[in-house]
Amino acid sequence: MEDAASHDRILILDFGSQVTQLIARRLREAGVYCEIFPYSADVDRILAFAPRGIIFSGGPASVTEVGSPRAPASVFRLGVPILGICYGQQALVTQLGGLVEGSDHREFGRAHIDIAADCALFHGAWSPGTREQVWMSHGDRVTGLPPGFSVVASTEGAPFAVIADEERHFYGVMFHPEVVHTPHGAALLRNFAVNVAGCRPDWTMAAFRAAEIARIRAQVGQGRVICGLSGGVDSSVAAVLIHEAIGDQLTCIFVDHGLLRQGEAAEVVQTFRGRFNIALVHRDASDLFVDALAGVTDPETKRKTIGRLFIEVFEEEAAKIGGADFLAQGTLYPDVIESVSVTGGPSVTIKSHHNVGGLPERMRMKLVEPLRELFKDEVRALGRELGLPEHIVGRHPFPGPGLAIRIPGDITREKLDILRRADAIYLEEIRFAGLYDAIWQAFAVLLPVRTVGVMGDGRTYDQVCALRAVTSTDGMTADVYPFSMEFLTRVAGRIVNEVRGINRVVFDVTSKPPGTIEWE
């Protein structure tokens, strides 16, 4: 990790909100370094972090309930600015002597806030006398302010929607500025970090690259490192960064499980052997995986089967290399946060395969995780900094189990071939239309449904292909991409005409609301 002492930092205390990570992402996007600690973090740990400001996240609890979460009392005596968001605002108010009560007027979703007075949070974003859109998600509400606070904005359901104690630099907002549904929310967070807390916005990928290379060299020394390479963004960036640091001390293992998209295996080999001259072991284990999945229909059983085989094959190839001291993986900051919050400690998983398998203790290797302080968008920025080709850096997310979870029901080689061709046509047309970068994720699914159709002078009885495409800025909320009917007609026509085994194409129009985290 880059030396945190070289950056001004914001600390986010997590009270359990599903969108806490978005607060950190907005600050990182503004060039401000930050980390997320659980609200129950040890005071000594908070002091050692030495934040310039602290943000209390939202959360699912009610401060009116006995035993509900509270911030460590000592944070109010650190002399640093504090911003409470939603539940965080209510905890702030309660702990400083104000009053929070349950309300019959709950607010969930879009709301409009009336700006009553100026505030340091509003600089360049909101002005007194205006009405602004925000995203609310609360049942309780503040009904009495602590000493020193005043109201600077309100809504019909939340008369204390934004409160401020400018002398102590304590602020509370009832809405969620971190989500895209609050249009000026990112500006408010930046104002808190830069203008109020005085943080320098100097968090850049160029600086991270240089510092992380030095850290990797110091950690590894003369040791040897193996990296599980999947061809996805995370493992690709991790491999190139580590190779830049230690060169031939790194060997990558690429386990081809036969569940990749069309042409991906060859692309991985060409990129890392040909372009970057990285030592790469390519193990084609497609027959092993596909045979093991025969007759398996339960999605979780598929995942576990793939994960178990992946670890077994990876371990076999690692043993052939021999003498490796370290295992490199593309663990990202969200993985670190989730593993700590769920298990109480760091996870030990081969991240390059999207956590479908754990690292056996018998492998006895230390971990090298150069991306563990980064979010996905930062990893992409680092990949561009390292010179990775855009078709890898900008690639849509693709889960470790690959096409196996995009074929509901049993897996066969025939179904995999059908889906690969349909998916390739879909993505090809998206690229031809210049839409690939405007879409966060697009893919085809081979449904376990057969329909009767007429093609030419004959009837067919073939499968149905579903197409999905969504836009997202954070991977946590998503909206359906609004393709034109002309585009959909052209794609459907190509798939039905060119892919034998499909006679009908449907388009999935399901959105993903705020607060939902997982996506495939």
Percent of the chain with pLDDT over 90: 68
Are the CB atoms for 74 and 100 separated by under 8 Å?
no
| pLDDT at site 518 | 38
Q: Phi and psi (nearest 5°) for 464? A: -105, 135
Does the structure show a pLDDT above 60 at 4?
A: no
DSSP-based three-state secondary structure for 359: coil
The string of DSSP letters for 218-245 reads HHHTT--EEEE--SSHHHHHHHHHHHHH
Does the structure show a pLDDT above 70 at 283?
A: yes
> Distance (Å, rounded) from C-alpha 271 to C-alpha 397?
18
Q: What b/e sequence results for 129-141 when a residue is b if at least 16 CB atoms lie within 10 Å of its CB, and e otherwise?
A: eeebebbbbbebb
**What H or E segment, with its residue span, contains residue 377?**
helix 376-386
What is the average per-residue pLDDT within 431-436? 97
What is the average per-residue pLDDT within 105-132? 88
List 317's β-bridge partners, or say none.
none
| pLDDT at site 331 | 86
Greater model confidence, 107 or 149: 149
| pLDDT at site 250 | 96
| pLDDT at site 519 | 36
- Look at phi and psi of residue 129 and say left if phi exceeds 0, alpha if psi is from -120 to 50, else beta: left
Domains of the chain: 4-196 (3.40.50.880), 205-393 (3.40.50.620), 412-507 (3.30.300.10)
Question: Catalytic residue positions?
Answer: 86, 176, 178
pLDDT band at residue 513, thresholds of 50, 70 and 90? low
* Mean pLDDT for the chain overall: 88
Extract the tokens encoding 18. 């599903």
